[in-house]
Copies of this chain bind each other. A is one copy, B any other.
Amino acid sequence: MRRRVVGVMGAGDGAADVDCANAYQLGQRIAQRGWALLTGGRDAGVMRAANAGARQVPDSLTIGILPRASSAASPDVDVVIRTDLGNGRNNVNVLSSDVVVACGRGGPGTVSEVALAVKVGKPVLLLAPDDLTRQFFLDLSHGGVQIADTVEAAVDVLDRLLV
């Protein structure tokens, strides 16, 4: 049976420490559950941290969807997909994930991914968003996005969504 895929999104360069720490733990927990981890694949910020976390777990599977033919991938990505779509690859991230998790608000790329997920009705989980982001996406999704304040709470939501 095919593994479920959890997409973990967040800022690359300039990601906040707390978001990277959450991403690392979340990547680990995702891999422990036997789910595949999907990220934007770059060797920076939340992407790098989530993949590094998953890498600690034997038999983890990490998928990186890179923007450019020549983008450098995080060393902890097992399957590298080179789209050459630039930011257009954000839509591939969303469509290829069973759930999309955003670590913090992230930068504008992350915001575009959450919005695209809302548009196609993909389950979205905001992990430790600031108040403004929480309100904005609750409003945009008519209450459809899930919110978790901690990695543990996020894993609980994923358990419910993916079982």
Nearest residue in B to A118 (C-beta to C-beta)?
Answer: B108
B95 adjacent to A69 (CB under 8 Å): yes
B85 adjacent to A2 (CB under 8 Å): no
B84 adjacent to A86 (CB under 8 Å): yes
Contact with B along A144-158 (1 / 0, CB 8 A): 000000000000000
B96 adjacent to A82 (CB under 8 Å): yes
Instruction: Pick the contact of A78: B3, B119, B132 (CB < 8 A).
Output: B3
Tell me how many residues of A have a C-beta within 8 Å of chain B: 43
Judged by a CB distance under 8 angstroms, whether A92 is at the interface is yes
A84 adjacent to B79 (CB under 8 Å): no
A positions within 8 Å CB-CB of B: 2-3, 5, 36, 61, 63, 65, 69, 77-88, 90-92, 95-96, 105, 107-109, 111-112, 115-116, 118-120, 132-133, 135-136, 139-141
5 A/B residue pairs, CB under 8 Å, sorted by A: A85-B92, A86-B91, A88-B91, A107-B119, A109-B116
Q: Identify the 10 closest CB pairs spanning chains A and B, nearest first.
A: A108-B119, A84-B86, A112-B115, A111-B115, A82-B95, A108-B118, A136-B136, A88-B91, A108-B115, A112-B112
